[in-house]
Structure 1
Amino acid sequence: MSIPNSASKGRPHVLLLTPGNTHDAKVAILAINAMPPSEYLVADKGYDSNALRSWLIERGTTPVIPAKSNRKVHIEHDRQIYRQRNVVERMFCRFKDWRRVATRFDRNIKTFMASIAIAAFVTWWL
């Protein structure tokens, strides 16, 4: 498996701002669809849904998502590939280095999105 250089460095590719009361899994397809299809998609248990898994398979992407503990039929995932999920977690930690972003300092949605875009732009080159 080969990972593109920018993805292997944990660089953000899609910025999508959602309301605070919306779960990320509800807009996952929208964010994933903004990128070209990949061989694998690595996500945590929060994204374990039949709808997302079937959509990814139709797209030609193998979902690497562990099953939730309450799932009746356990679905296996590739543990070796899943270990690379830490790259995504490190990207979010780099965003949290920006106090303005981490504490949601800006209350205006346009200003907050601009702060996130600036943080993404700077972290792209680090």
Structure 2
Amino acid sequence: FTLIPGQHYDTVGVAPLLEPADFKALLADKAFDVHWIVDALHAQGAHVVIPQRKNRLDRRPFDAALFKARHLIENFFCKLKEFKRIAMRSEKTDRSFAAMIYLTAAIINSR
């Protein structure tokens, strides 16, 4: 994962994650419905599962059934935020915050 400052758009941290990744589909919310992201995913042969913004001119097919699995990702983030140090971001440096996320994810997966 990549940590980005809270005042930036979510799409700022996407480019470095798309290039080395090998995946078959990307599930994301409407904030990621951007032409360059969709084009990059199609170039990699990945299935795009992103609902379209209402002002999008060129409509494309959307797999709503597959998008319903996104709640599993949202549930994991809710479990992460149960840990106070992550919810309040009480770590001073990005490196220690990332380490806390890794540690918390390991604790959640070991349950």
Whether TM exceeds 0.5 here: the answer is: yes
**Structure 1 unaligned blocks of 5 or more:** 1-14
Partner residue, 1:117:
102
Equivalences for residues 22-101 of structure 1 within 5 A: 22-38=8-24, 40-101=25-86
Aligned residues: 111
Give me the whole-angstrom Cα distance separating, in 2, the residues matched to 1:32 and 1:122.
Answer: 27
Give me the whole-angstrom Cα distance separating, in 1, the residues matched to 2:64 and 2:9.
Answer: 25
Alignment of 1:19 onto 2:19: no
**Structure 2 unaligned blocks of 5 or more:** none
Which consecutive aligned stretches of 4+ in structure 1 deviate over 4 angstroms post-superposition? none
Normalising to structure 2: TM-score of the pair?
0.88
- Conserved 8 A contact 1:67-1:76: no
Offset, 1:106: 1.4
Local SS of the residue matching 1:63: strand
Identity between Structure 1 and Structure 2 (%): 26
Q: RMSD of aligned C-alpha atoms? A: 1.6
Give me the whole-angstrom Cα distance separating, in 2, the residues matched to 1:50 and 1:23.
Answer: 15
Q: Sort the Cα spacing of 1:94 and 1:33 in 2 relative to 1 into closer, same or farther, 3 A.
A: farther
Q: Sort the Cα spacing of 1:32 and 1:99 in 2 relative to 1 into closer, same or farther, 3 A.
A: farther
What do residues 18-63 of structure 1 show as CA deviations (whole Å, max 9, x unaligned)? 122222212123224443222x211110110110001001101010
- Conserved 8 A contact 1:41-1:62: yes
Offset, 1:74: 2.9
